[in-house]
Structure 1
Amino acid sequence: MNYLDEFLLIAIAHFFAVASPGPDFAVVLKQSVQQGRRNALWTSAGVGVAILLHVGYCVLGVALILTQSPNLFIALKYLAGAYLAYLGVQALRAAKPPENTSDAIENKTVLEESVWLAFRRGFLTNALNPKATLFFMSLFTLVISVTTPTSVQIAYGVYMALATWVWFSMLSLVLSKPGVRGFFQKSGYWFDRGIGVSLIALAIRVVI
């Protein structure tokens, strides 16, 4: 109870951060529409686990190092921008979805084999997101008191990881519904290109 006010402040700040459009949302949307529910849920899990990475380096004090080393943070920004641009180019080059039964079966097999890739995509998108880095740096240096025990800080981190996973899993369940997927897929190549352009725009925004 001693840390309830601090936790509520963290929970509110985290909700607005995770609900705002960004690279995580764009990737989960792309996976939900193009790959389906199972793939999108694994991508969401990757995003959630990446939160623990941010919490980990903040608890260990690496966040302080990042704030004192502009060159290191700039390098992180360029790395994140390159990764988002890579995802954007992939979306622009996406092939037309299969239309006949045999192709659908083949696509299902590929989907089952790409679970790890889906998880990795979600993890890297969040882990390399400077917006997430800035958020957690601010949270652990300005909101969370230096007197807060490490165990309590870790508990905050676990909550944020679980809340992030639940949020994007809920989005995955909604966006991967047949009606919603069908709506987006009606655009065919145009949807792929729209997602690709959005990711590349996010990459540019991250860098500048």
Structure 2
Amino acid sequence: MFWSEFLTVVVVHLLAVASPGPDLAVVLKNSISLGRRSAIFTSIGVGCGILVHVCYSVLGIGLIISQSIWLFNIIKWMGAAYLIWIGIQGLRAKQRQMPELAVSPELKLSDRRAFISGFMTNGLNPKATLFFLSLFTVVIQTSTPWPVQLAYGLYMVLATMLWFCMVSWLFSTARVRSKFMQVGHWFDRTMGVVLVSLGIRLLLSSRS
């Protein structure tokens, strides 16, 4: 009964998760700079961040957010501030003496902090908020039972984790990392510019 709706959700989500954005930038940065383990925990965090959007959408809080400019702007400013903060960390990256595949002690990130970086990046992403508001108000019918809507959400969580874990695995392989590590500090700084730019763009954007 809900298969056609589910397939629509699958296609729309696939297009959204594969498009460049803060999630991809953070996962790529951690894959190259910190290695596979940190990148995978970041990917899991990104996937779990989707649970935030799914929960308020299923519960109907998303409708309140969509009708409240000030509440939406608070989320937008929080997300922008976080993107700018992690972007600045990338801009402060120092040149390494030798290109090495091993992660130096000062660059290591605990599993918990790697998870939080992914979770916060997605959870505070206002574009993700808009995406799920649109998905749960346009694509998913209001008559769809909430357990089915929750199942859609869990699928998107798992699919997102799988996608970014694949990205983590690819960009943390020895050959790819060895190439990037030769200009590792410039890669970090480039990702920092991207994240800061995204944050500033969010701060300057307006919603009528």
Aligned pairs (5 A) from 1:128-143: 128-143=124-139
**Residue 176 in 1 paired to residue 172 in 2?**
yes
Letter in 1 for 2:78: L
Letter in 1 for 2:91: L
Task: Give the Cα separation in 2 of the matches to 1:78 and 1:43.
Answer: 22
| Kept after mapping to 1: 8 A contact 2:75/2:126 | yes
Match of 2:199 in 1: 203
Deviation at residue 105 of structure 1 after TM alignment: 8.0
Q: 1:107 aligns with which of 85, 102, 105?
A: 105
Task: Give the Cα separation in 1 of the matches to 2:152 and 2:188.
Answer: 37
Aligned pairs (5 A) from 1:1-208: 2-97=1-96, 99=98, 107=105, 111=108, 114-207=110-203, 208=205
Task: Give the Cα separation in 2 of the matches to 1:87 and 1:190.
Answer: 15
The verdict on how the C-alpha distance between 1:150 and 1:4 changes in structure 2, with shifts beyond 3 A counting, is: same
Letter in 2 for 1:61: G
Q: Deviations over 1:143-181 (max 9, x none)?
A: 111111111001000000000000000000001011111
Task: Give the Cα separation in 1 of the matches to 2:185 and 2:52.
Answer: 35
Letter in 2 for 1:14: H
Task: Give the Cα separation in 1 of the matches to 2:156 and 2:54.
Answer: 9
The verdict on how the C-alpha distance between 1:68 and 1:4 changes in structure 2, with shifts beyond 3 A counting, is: same
Q: % of aligned pairs identical?
A: 51
Task: Give the Cα separation in 1 of the matches to 2:103 and 2:175.
Answer: 21
3-state SS of the aligned residue for 2:152? helix
The verdict on how the C-alpha distance between 1:105 and 1:45 changes in structure 2, with shifts beyond 3 A counting, is: closer
3-state SS of the aligned residue for 1:125? helix
Task: Give the Cα separation in 1 of the matches to 2:56 and 2:37.
Answer: 30
Task: Give the Cα separation in 2 of the matches to 1:6 and 1:128.
Answer: 27
3-state SS of the aligned residue for 1:49? helix
Task: Give the Cα separation in 2 of the matches to 1:106 and 1:83.
Answer: 25
Task: Give the Cα separation in 2 of the matches to 1:182 and 1:198.
Answer: 22
Deviation at residue 107 of structure 1 after TM alignment: 2.0
The verdict on how the C-alpha distance between 1:98 and 1:147 changes in structure 2, with shifts beyond 3 A counting, is: farther
3-state SS of the aligned residue for 2:183? coil
Count the aligned residue pairs.
203
- Structure 1 runs (4+) deviating above 6 angstroms are none
| Kept after mapping to 1: 8 A contact 2:83/2:198 | yes
TM-score (norm 1): 0.92
TM-score (norm 2): 0.92
Letter in 2 for 1:169: C
Unaligned runs of 5+ in 2: none
Root mean square deviation of aligned Cα: 1.8
Letter in 2 for 1:107: P
Unaligned runs of 5+ in 1: none
The verdict on how the C-alpha distance between 1:162 and 1:138 changes in structure 2, with shifts beyond 3 A counting, is: same
